[in-house]
Chain A
Amino acid sequence: MSGSALYIITAKDTLIRKIPRVPSHIKISIENGKEVKRITSANFKTKKGEDGLSVQIEKLVESTDTVVNQTTHTAAFFLAKVPMDLGKECKHDPTATEYAHALIVGDTRSIAKKIANACHKILDEDILIGE
């Protein structure tokens, strides 16, 4: 899908956020006797001066390879419902090089941990606890 029309993100859409492989941002812990992996919230915190947190809309991505250089990054997947339910606007924000680019608008520092905990999938990782 491409073109000039903006896509309307719904709560059911999955959003993708690139995660650097080194240094690792995935923490491993033992919960109820089982190994679980979680992403640190640091990945989902905006820095000062940013309009919002950059993500990619899974539905608009032809393949994960087009947004993630898998030698340097992995990717976390979460539902747009998570930031939306916390009052954040998610808007399609295509760039010259990335049609699938979107923004979780505004400062995301206060909701970063919620997003991190709600990730239901990390590329190449199979033991993840998300909401």
Chain B
Amino acid sequence: MKVPLKINETGWFLILNPNLSTSEELQNKDYNISGYSIAKLSTSYNQPFIGIDVTKEILNLPSDITEFLSDFKGNGFYKNSIFKYNEKTIAHLQNLVDERSRAKYFEEIDSFKTLKYNWDGYNAEPTADAAIHLAKEVVTELISNRIKIDICVPMRDGGIQFDIDGDKYSTEIEIHPDQTISLIVYNENAEIVKNKIISLSEIKTIKQYI
């Protein structure tokens, strides 16, 4: 599971080209901008990471990455591919991640408009326009509350489902064609421990289960 970025943390980031190998630990804790992984290292890590030489790749970073890294020029970044971040740049990074994440899910949700009756081979309904509209509002709410979506899929009844898997609980948000929202919480044995209709403003309560 990818680790949410915490704005108030201090520490080090390592930027890696996806074609270069790195440790499994780093792969598991990365963020992705323009195809580049941005890995957060341990907060106790206080030395430049010399083991992986990505200098040549860093020099060709896409503009949206170099933009937020501009603060670090001359701070050892180009030498070591490592930079120390501050709150301003973290907020900027977070906004970039949020924007891309939102755009990705909006695009995915819009793609459901093309589904025709029987898209699953078992008489599933086309996705309802009302569900598409509400699902986008839910995405915005989830992202602004730093809740990571594991998958977003059309439902057989014309609704849309979000899966959010935590360590102890798994939750599903069902957006129904009648514009109601269901929250279903499962324990580790996939047993339902909560199943209720919620409002958009209650989406943030999911945090307690992840």
Indicate with 1 or 0, residue by residue over B129-163, a CB within 8 angstroms of chain A CB atoms.
00000000000000000000011011111000101
Q: With A47-B157, A48-B157, A54-B122 as given contacts, are A27 and B1 in contact (CB-CB < 8 Å)? A: no
User: Is B111 an interface residue when CB atoms closer than 8 A count as contact?
Assistant: yes
A30 and B190 contacting across the interface, CB-CB below 8 Å: no
Interface size on A, residues (CB 8 A): 28
Partner of A27, one of B2, B120, B151, B190: B151
Which residues of chain A are within 8 angstroms of B1 by Cβ–Cβ distance? 29-31
A18 and B161 contacting across the interface, CB-CB below 8 Å: no
Which one of A4-12, A58-66, A110-118 is at the B interface? A110-118
Indicate with 1 or 0, residue by residue over A16-55, a CB within 8 angstroms of chain B CB atoms.
0011100111010111010000001111011110000010
A18 and B120 contacting across the interface, CB-CB below 8 Å: yes
Q: With A30-B1, A40-B163, A110-B192 as given contacts, are A47 and B172 in contact (CB-CB < 8 Å)? A: no
B186 and A40 contacting across the interface, CB-CB below 8 Å: no
B163 and A47 contacting across the interface, CB-CB below 8 Å: no
Which residues of chain B are within 8 angstroms of A29 by Cβ–Cβ distance? 1, 150, 165
Q: With A29-B1, A110-B192, A113-B190 as given contacts, are A41 and B120 in contact (CB-CB < 8 Å)? A: no
How far, in angstroms, from A18 to B156 measured CA to CA in the complex? Answer: 13
Q: With A20-B119, A73-B121 as given contacts, are A113 and B155 in contact (CB-CB < 8 Å)? A: no
Partner of A40, one of B119, B122, B153: B153
Which residues of chain A are within 8 angstroms of B192 by Cβ–Cβ distance? 110, 113
Q: With A40-B161, A47-B157, A110-B192 as given contacts, are A33 and B150 in contact (CB-CB < 8 Å)? A: no
Partner of A18, one of B2, B122, B151, B190: B122
| Interchain nearest-CB distance for A70 vs B (Å) | 12
User: Is B49 an interface residue when CB atoms closer than 8 A count as contact?
Assistant: no
B154 and A23 contacting across the interface, CB-CB below 8 Å: yes
How far, in angstroms, from A116 to B154 measured CA to CA in the complex? Answer: 16
| Interchain nearest-CB distance for A39 vs B (Å) | 10
A45 and B155 contacting across the interface, CB-CB below 8 Å: yes
Which residues of chain A are within 8 angstroms of B172 by Cβ–Cβ distance? 41, 113
A18 and B121 contacting across the interface, CB-CB below 8 Å: yes
Query: Chain B residues in contact with chain A, CB under 8 A?
Result: 1-2, 24, 28, 108, 111-112, 119-122, 124-125, 150-151, 153-157, 161, 163, 165, 170, 172, 186, 190-192
A selection of 15 A-B contacts at a CB cut-off of 8 Å is: A23-B112, A23-B154, A25-B151, A33-B24, A40-B151, A40-B161, A42-B153, A42-B155, A42-B161, A43-B120, A45-B156, A47-B125, A54-B122, A113-B192, A114-B191
Query: Chain A residues in contact with chain B, CB under 8 A?
Result: 18-20, 23-25, 27, 29-31, 33, 40-43, 45-48, 54, 69, 72-73, 110, 113-114, 116-117
Known: A23-B111, A41-B172. 6 other contacts (CB 8 A): A30-B28, A33-B28, A40-B163, A43-B120, A47-B125, A116-B190
Complex A-B, nearest 4 residue pairs according to Cβ-Cβ distance, in ascending order: A47-B157, A27-B151, A113-B190, A18-B121
